[in-house]
Amino acid sequence: MSDRPHPILIGIAALVYLFLVVPLVIVVGAALSDTTYLTFPPRGLSLRWFENIFQISAFRRTIVTSLQIASLGTLFALMIGIPAAYALNRFRVELPRWIATLFVLPILVPEIVFGFALLKSLTVGAGVPIFAALLIGHTLLVLPYVVRVIGASLASFDFSIEEAAISLGSAPLKTFFTIVLPNVRAGVLAAFILAFITSLNDVSVSLFLTGPGISTLPIQILAHVEQFFDPTVASVSVLLMFLTVAVMAVVERTLGLTFLAK
C-alpha cells in the first residue's frame, strides 16, 4: 500500500485552498483591469490603477502613517509585552490571577467599544494629538497578542536554565538577554508578525482615532470606496496583501519561519 492520502482528504484540502485563494485571485484580477470600474475577469491588462494609488496623496500619506503606526506600535507593545509576559510566567505563583487577565482585556472587549473608549478618554478627554492617540490605541490593541504568544513560549521555558546562568556569574538582566530571550525567539517572532499585521489591517479602533489629516490605509480604503468605484481599491488591497507578505518574507529571510514551528 502507498502512503497517498485518501481521495476525500485531497478533495477537502483542495476546496479549502480554493476558498482561500479564489477571492484573492479575483481581487488581483480586478486590480489589473484596464476598465474604470471594478470588474472580473479583467478587461485588458494595466498597472495604471497601481500608479493611481500613488497619485492620490491621501493613499500616499496613509500608507506611510500605517507603516509608522504598525512599526512603532508593535515595537512599544514588544517593549511592554515581553517584560510583562516574563513577569507573569516567572512569578505565576506570587502574582494574583487577575493581572494576567488585564493584559488580554483589549481582545475581550469588542473592538468597536474599545475604540470608542479610547476616543472618549484619549482624544476627547485628555486632548492627546491624533497620531499619538492612534499609536497608543494600536499599542494597546496588539499588546494582548504579544503577551499571549510570548507567554506561551515562556510557559514551556525551564526557568532553572536562567538560574543556572545566574549561578555561573551572569547578572540577571544580562541573563535575560543572553539566555531567556534566545530561547523564546520563536515566540517573539510570532508575536511581532501577529502584532504588525493586526495593526496594519485594523479598522475598528482606527476608525475612532483617525482624524483630520491623519488616517490609516484601511480607513482610507473605506473612505475611497464610499466615493469611487474604480479598481484603485482593488489595487490598494493587493498592495496591503503585498505588505503583509513582505513582512513574512523579510522574517523568513532573516530568521527563518521554521522557528515559528518550533
Partner 1 sequence: MTQPLDINAVSAHYGTTRVLQDLSLSIQAGELVSLLGASGCGKTTTLRLIAGFLSPTSGSISLGGRDLTRLPPHRRDIGLVFQNYALFPHLSVLDNVAFGLKQRGIAPADRRRRAFAMLERVGLTALAERAPGALSGGQKQRVALARALVIEPPLLMFDEPLSNLDARLRVDMRVEIRQLQRANGTTSVYVTHDQEEAFSISDRVAIMNAGRLMQFGQPEVLYRRPANTFVARFVGFENIIPFKAVARDNGTVTVETAGMRLRLPQDAFGAIPDTFLLATRPDGLMVSTDPAADGLPARLGLRTYLGRAYQYRCDTAAGHLIANGMLTTPLEPGANVQLVPVPEQCCILASEEAQG
**Contacting positions for partner 1 (CB under 8 A):** 158, 160-161, 163-172, 175, 179, 182-183
Residue among 41 and 172 whose Cβ is closer to partner 1:
172
CB of residue 156 to partner 1, shortest distance in Å: 11
Residue among 15 and 164 whose Cβ is closer to partner 1:
164
Beta-carbon count within 10 A of 199 CB: 28
Residue among 57 and 167 whose Cβ is closer to partner 1:
167
Asked if residue 213 lies in contact with residue 64, where contact means CB atoms within 8 angstroms, the answer is no
Specify the amino acid at residue 260.
Answer: L
- In this structure, what C-alpha cell is assigned to residue 20? 482561500
Beta-carbon count within 10 A of 212 CB: 6
Asked if residue 184 lies in contact with residue 153, where contact means CB atoms within 8 angstroms, the answer is yes
CB of residue 89 to partner 1, shortest distance in Å: 16
Residue among 9 and 171 whose Cβ is closer to partner 1:
171
Residue among 169 and 212 whose Cβ is closer to partner 1:
169
Asked if residue 189 lies in contact with residue 259, where contact means CB atoms within 8 angstroms, the answer is yes
CB of residue 184 to partner 1, shortest distance in Å: 10
CB of residue 172 to partner 1, shortest distance in Å: 7
CA-wise closest residue to 60 among 217, 219, 167, 172 = 217
Residue among 120 and 262 whose Cβ is closer to partner 1:
262
CB of residue 183 to partner 1, shortest distance in Å: 6
141 exposure class (CB count in 10 Å sphere: 0-12, 13-18, 19+): buried
Nearest-angstrom CA–CA distance, 150 and 84: 10
CB of residue 17 to partner 1, shortest distance in Å: 35
Nearest-angstrom CA–CA distance, 157 and 28: 43
